[in-house]
A and B are shown apart, each in its own frame.
Chain A
Amino acid sequence: MSDTTLLALFEDIDPAANAIEKLHEMGVTDDKINVISGVPIAHKMLGRPHPRTNVSRFSLGGAIGGFMFGLFLNFGTPNLYNVPVGGQYITPVPPGLIVVFEMTMLFALLATFLGVFLDSYFPNYRPLEYMPEISDGKIGVFFKCAKNEQKKFMDALGKLGAESVKPVEAQQL
Chain B
Amino acid sequence: MAVTSKYFSGAEKPHETQHEEEDDPRQYLMYDPKPRGEMNQMVMESMTTTSWKFWVVFGILSVLVATCFFYAWGYMISEGLWVAGVMRPSYWGIFLVNTVFWIGISHAGTFISAILRVFKAEFRRPFTRAAELMTTFGLIQAGASIFMHLGRVWLAYWLFPIPNERQLWPNFHSPLMWDLLAITTYVLGSTMYLFLPLIPDLAMARDRSTGWRKIFYRVLALGFRGTEGEWRHLQTAMNFFAFAIIPVMFSVHTIVSWDFAMAMRPGWSSTVFGPYFVLGALHSGMGAVAIVLFVMRYTMKHMDYFIRKEHFDALGKLMLIVTFAYSYFFFNDYIVQWYGGDKWTDILLHWLEAGPMAWMFYQLILFNIVIPPLTLWNKKIRQTPWMLALIGLIINVGMYWERYLIIPVMLTINRMPFTWKLYEPRIEVFLTIGTFSMFLLFYMIASRLIPLIPVWEVQEGQMTHTLRKVGKTHVPTVSEFE
The range of chain A's interface size is 35 or more
A12 within 8 A of B: yes
Given contacts A78-B172, A96-B172, A173-B223, contact A102 B236 (CB under 8 A): no
Bound form: Cα–Cα A60–B386 in Å: 45
Bound form: Cα–Cα A138–B36 in Å: 9
What would be 15 A-B contacts, judged by CB atoms less than 8 Å apart?
A12-B6, A36-B225, A38-B226, A41-B231, A81-B163, A95-B172, A102-B178, A105-B251, A112-B240, A116-B234, A120-B224, A120-B229, A120-B233, A134-B225, A137-B37
Task: Give chain B nearest CB distance to A132 CB in angstroms.
Answer: 4
B347 within 8 A of A: no
Stretch of B135-143, B145-153, B199-207, B333-341 lying at the A interface = B199-207
Task: Give chain B nearest CB distance to A62 CB in angstroms.
Answer: 10
Q: Are A119 and B229 in contact (CB under 8 A)?
A: yes
Supplied contacts A73-B161, A74-B172, 8 more A-B pairs, CB within 8 Å? A39-B36, A105-B244, A106-B181, A122-B224, A135-B204, A135-B207, A136-B36, A136-B207
Contacts of A78 in B (CB 8 A): 169, 172
Q: Are A99 and B1 in contact (CB under 8 A)?
A: no
B192 within 8 A of A: yes
Task: Give chain A nearest CB distance to B273 CB in angstroms.
Answer: 15
Complex A-B, nearest 4 residue pairs according to Cβ-Cβ distance, in ascending order: A137-B1, A137-B36, A124-B223, A11-B2
Q: Interface residues, chain B, CB within 8 Å of chain A? A: 1-4, 6, 35-37, 40, 161, 163, 167, 169, 171-173, 177-178, 181-182, 184-185, 188-189, 192-193, 196, 200, 203-204, 206-208, 218-219, 221-237, 240-241, 244-245, 247-248, 251, 255, 456, 459-460, 463, 481-482
Task: Give chain A nearest CB distance to B312 CB in angstroms.
Answer: 26
Task: Give chain A nearest CB distance to B180 CB in angstroms.
Answer: 9
Contacts of A136 in B (CB 8 A): 1, 35-37, 40, 207
Q: Are A39 and B463 in contact (CB under 8 A)?
A: yes
Given contacts A36-B225, A51-B232, A173-B225, contact A98 B178 (CB under 8 A): yes
Q: Are A102 and B182 in contact (CB under 8 A)?
A: yes
Task: Give chain A nearest CB distance to B34 CB in angstroms.
Answer: 10
